[in-house]
A and B are shown apart, each in its own frame.
Chain A
Amino acid sequence: MSAIGELQRLNTTTGGPPRKKDNRAAFVFLLPWFAGLVLITAGPVAASFVLGFTDYNLIQPPEFSGVENFQRMLSDERLHQALAVTFKYVFISVPLQLAAALGLAMLLDRGLRGLAFYRSAFYLPSLLGSSVAIAVLWRQIFGADGLFNQALGLVGIEGRGWISDPDTALSTLIVLNVWTFGAPMVIFLAGLRQIPAMYYEAASVDGAGKATQFRKITIPLLSPIIFFNLVLQIIHAFQSFTQAFVVSGGSGGPSDSTLFYTLYLYQRGFHNFDMGYASALAWLLLLIIAAFTAVNFWAAKRWVFYDD
């Protein structure tokens, strides 16, 4: 499915004859994972796949409905809205969040006084997670009486209820996502720490400027981590649920402008007792995410640098 090209490289060691397989060692190392896959993951995943072809209201047993659920997707206008919202969200918020995370990680990596303070301050918002407080807090910023409007008022611009206006609601969620860039930032920080300092020193001696160092050293050596963040943040953004759920009170409103895919799926499954259709939707989402991940892995051959 995905990862094929990438693993092609993984399989062949650079130089020398191909190594012999370590099947036995691999089995031992992978034993917990295999056990989890078979005992915990496989059953529910298979069940959700089968349920995608049924009419299942959670209370009564499922009933086979063939590909009806998938046909229904074609004419489901709310699904199309959910797809539009989700794609927009993924394409805008992931690059912004990663750029913010990488930028600050570089800034906070070394040679700055008060590093620990800044790191903690920037990470703190991410700690709030899906706390119920988020909804209230977000209204304090982007609500009609929020901080943002007060700031706009100072410069004489009349604001509006940014969260509740269908034209701007999604943007506030994108900002919310960028605001919680703590997780990728921490991963970048950890990754930056793996780059041997002597590379930079050598480059400095050679007279390379900051920009060149960034291009020639940081980016290539950090590329496995950038790649990881990119892949995972895309997967994560496609599955985005909690923030829209909490901020819109579960509705995906106003006017479905924040109806994320998983939020819609959740509404169908739990509010409308339509778990069969929800399962089918989940598998469509899986296909979409898998396609994006596969493209990512394919493209990675061109820019991700591994030492092996």
Chain B
Amino acid sequence: MTDLQERVVAPIPTVEKAPRVRNPARSLAKHTGLILLALIMLYPVLWMVVSSLRPNSEIFRSPGIVLDSLQTGNYGEGWNALSAPFSHFLINSGIVVLGCIIGNLVSCSMAAYAFARLEFTGKKLWFAIMLGTIMLPIHVIIVPQYIMFSQLGWVNTFLPLIVPKLLATDAFFVFLMVQFIRGLPKELDEAARIDGAGHPRIFLQVILPLMLPALATTTIFTFIWTWNDFFSQLIYLTDPEMYTVPVALRSFVDATVATSWGSMFAMSVVSLLPIFLAFLIGQRYLIKGIATTGIK
């Protein structure tokens, strides 16, 4: 952080560091309610974990989530069930996710800064167009887009998945960041401007550090959504060498014959771990916002 920023942003104690005195009975009730709710929310996830530890034949015949025996065989089987070990698909997904995160962070924040803080010709129109681009369902876009990418020779590479993100085509995040930037006090920009900072400096040294929660949100969501995105990965990645986790996971399932549900659930659990970790790590940055700072 620069001294410019330290001057305008002086830390003050947060509420979290100074919890209010609470009524123990109320607190107990609150926690009981929350834990109950959490259990209901988590039931399907728990069921999935339990099923991944059951022999295939028992999954649909024994109800509930009580395990009689622990079978870890599904993990080994699922890991090696497809043409490559499952780690291969995890790595592929990792590459795509990484590319998309970098793309979204850089390009969307730049566009958002322009929309939130700069005055330029036709701003209304461009903004409307930006929002409009997320209003068409992908199913009618995908065929022309596939034709375009196939003529570029990009099919069966990660480029059709990553390059659009590098070019800020994910309007969701542009809009998200616009809203966050507009929530930041303008005095900060003004102060920096008076100090002679240009837009690049204001953007990099004032706005970006302050929109850390928005950047964390973007990172987490890009991670999760890309990790789970099935349709475009299915369409663009034709060679199993290039398959990502969601495409691989679905190739366990065939509704007309017996499916290795145990393996499928086991690998679902495995593929859930990275995004859960990403969320656990990312959520710390969610809470490091301007709230920890005392503007005004």
Contact = CB atoms under 8 A, between A and B. Distances in A.
A241 B293 CA distance: 41
Interface residues of A, number: 112
B230 interface: yes
Given A29-B110, A194-B180, A266-B139, A2 B44 contact: no
Contacts of B228: 127-131
Contacts of A122: 37-38, 41
B168 to A, nearest CB: 4
Contacts of B38: 118, 121-122
B253 A111 contact: no
Contact of A33 (B167, B221, B296): B167
Contacts of A200: 15
Contact of B250 (A111, A132, A275): A132
A197 B12 contact: yes
Contacts of A25: 114, 118, 198-199
Contacts of A214: none
Given A120-B279, A193-B291, A265-B140, A40 B169 contact: yes
B216 to A, nearest CB: 7
B1 to A, nearest CB: 18
Interface stretch (B67-75, B84-92, B141-149, B236-244): B141-149
Contacts of B63: 145, 150
Contacts of B216: 190
A140 B44 contact: yes
Given A121-B41, A122-B38, A132-B249, A33 B136 contact: no
Contact of A1 (B20, B107, B120, B128): B128
Contacts of B198: 25
A228 B249 CA distance: 33
A107 B199 contact: no
A78 to B, nearest CB: 16
A7 B291 contact: no
A289 to B, nearest CB: 4
Best-surrounded residue of A40, A111, A225, A265 (most CB of chain B within 10 A): A40
A279 B118 contact: no
Interface of B: 12-16, 19-20, 22, 30-31, 34, 37-38, 41-45, 47-48, 63, 106-107, 110-111, 113-114, 118-121, 123-124, 126-137, 139-145, 148, 163-164, 166-169, 172, 174-176, 179-180, 182-186, 198-199, 203, 213-214, 216-217, 220-221, 224-225, 227-228, 230, 246, 249-250, 252-253, 255, 261, 264-265, 268, 272, 275-276, 279-280, 283, 286-296
Interface of A: 1-4, 7-8, 10-11, 19-23, 25-27, 29-33, 35-37, 39-41, 43-45, 47-48, 51, 58, 107, 110-114, 116, 118-133, 136-138, 140-141, 145, 147, 150, 179, 183, 186-187, 189-198, 200-201, 221, 224-225, 227-228, 231-232, 235, 239, 241-242, 249, 262, 265-266, 269-270, 275, 278-279, 281-283, 285-286, 289-290, 293, 306-308
Given A124-B45, A150-B63, 9 more contacts: A21-B120, A21-B121, A40-B167, A120-B276, A137-B47, A189-B286, A194-B213, A197-B294, A279-B140
